[in-house]
């Protein structure tokens, strides 16, 4: 049975998440979409706004604190209740959209979906869309760790308030300096199909400036295929040791089969690997780290590959 696609809409305070979600759902009232609105406080204004545009019975509110601060058992319970209710009405849930608070780091939400048996069996985390305010986005990124983290782990950046500031060149440079392969779309050009079709990022290394001296990135280019069993052990050990400093890891790996392995991770967490058909067989692996010497990652990989009987050649590009 296919898993239900789940989308996370995040973004810093005042970035326009709720307005975007209202506009996105205005023509979808007859579709079986569940919307979860997370409020940090007790006054659920965003929930009221969404319900005024969408269907009340399909909109859930989680307001006992930010869902991104810890694993949320009520998230699984709420989704289970929705599935049960739809099953009684002979309906099938098509997808779930979660709007986080502006102070959210979505990594713990990912953790909940990956570690909760019910959620991992029934739902698939399809993508993370981050709203960035074209008017105040640069200041948000410079002054708030949450805004920075939201961009780094995102699969797509939605630029809001471009009508108030059409010149987004500098903001785009800052965002690309944090996440060089990220796709940027203006809100006016974004539609529901973009939500469905946005996938985990492909590897695309560009020459971009770094956001700050404490954030660094590198890419490994492998010339031959990789022993998957050995690699997965190494990556698990690396993230166990440095996961609090590794903001993002993503890659396409040739393991000697007719498909590539797509790797995506945030901090200590790794999404379930997926297989991608590709004529290109060269492996690429990207790390984005904060307050961590990239040489430690390089030395760690070199030491681990020495344990393999197969000679694996690679080169490193820091950016």
Asked whether 182 and 156 are in contact (CB, 8 A), the reply is yes
d(CA 143, CA 140): 5
Asked whether 113 and 4 are in contact (CB, 8 A), the reply is no
Residue 264 sits in the same domain as residue 133: no
Q: Which domain holds residue 223?
A: 215-318
210 inside domain: no
Residue 281 sits in the same domain as residue 182: no
Residue 173 sits in the same domain as residue 237: no
User: Which stretch, 29-43, 74-88, 100-114, has highest mean pLDDT?
Assistant: 74-88
Domain count, the chain: 2
| Burial (CB count within 10 angstroms: exposed 0-12, middle 13-18, buried 19+), residue 153 | buried
208 inside domain: no
Q: What pLDDT shows up at residue 39?
A: 57
Query: pLDDT tens digits, residue range 42-79?
Result: 334 344 434 444 444 455 555 544 444 455 567 778 88
d(CA 16, CA 60): 19
Q: Tokens for 176?
A: 């690309």
202 inside domain: no
Residue 278, domain CATH = 3.30.1220.10
Query: pLDDT tens digits, residue range 214-257?
Result: 778 888 998 888 888 889 999 999 998 998 888 778 888 898 88
Residue 152 sits in the same domain as residue 277: no
Q: Which of 69, 77, 138 is nearest to 105 (CA)?
A: 69
Residue 63, domain CATH = 3.40.50.300
Q: What is the DSSP letter of 56?
A: G
Q: Tokens for 36?
A: 């979860």
Which of helix, strand or coil describes residue 299? helix
Residue 72 sits in the same domain as residue 104: yes
């Amino acid at each position: 049975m296919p898993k239900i696609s789940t989308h996370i809409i995040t973004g810093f305070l005042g970035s326009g998440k709720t307005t975007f979600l209202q506009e996105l759902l205005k023509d979808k009232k007859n579709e079986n979409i569940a919307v979860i609105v997370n409020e940090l406080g007790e006054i659920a204004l965003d929930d009221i706004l969404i319900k005024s545009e969408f269907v009340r019975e399909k909109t859930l509110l989680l307001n006992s604190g930010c869902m991104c601060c810890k694993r949320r058992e009520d998230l699984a319970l709420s989704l289970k209740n929705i599935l049960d209710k739809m099953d009684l009405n002979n309906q099938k849930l098509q997808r779930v959209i979660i709007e986080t608070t502006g102070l959210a780091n979505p990594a713990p939400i990912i953790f909940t979906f990956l570690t909760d048996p019910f959620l991992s069996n029934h739902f698939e985390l399809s993508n993370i869309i981050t709203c960035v305010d074209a008017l105040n986005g640069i200041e948000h990124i410079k002054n708030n760790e949450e805004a920075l983290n939201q961009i780094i782990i995102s699969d797509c950046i939605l630029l809001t308030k471009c009508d108030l500031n059409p010149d987004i060149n500098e903001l785009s440079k800052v965002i690309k300096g944090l996440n060089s392969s990220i796709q940027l779309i203006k809100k006016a050009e974004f539609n529901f199909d973009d939500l469905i079709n946005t996938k985990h990022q492909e590897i695309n290394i560009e020459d971009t400036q770094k956001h700050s001296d404490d954030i660094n990135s590198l890419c490994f280019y492998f010339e031959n295929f990789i022993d998957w069993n050995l690699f997965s052990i190494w990556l698990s050990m690396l993230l166990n040791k440095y996961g609090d400093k590794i903001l993002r890891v993503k890659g396409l790996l040739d393991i000697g089969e007719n498909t590539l392995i797509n790797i995506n991770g945030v901090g200590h967490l790794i999404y379930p690997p997926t297989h991608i058909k590709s004529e290109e067989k060269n492996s690429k692996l990207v790390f984005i780290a904060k307050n961590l010497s990239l040489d430690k990652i390089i030395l760690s990989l070199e030491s681990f590959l020495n344990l393999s009987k197969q000679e694996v050649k690679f080169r490193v590009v820091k950016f």
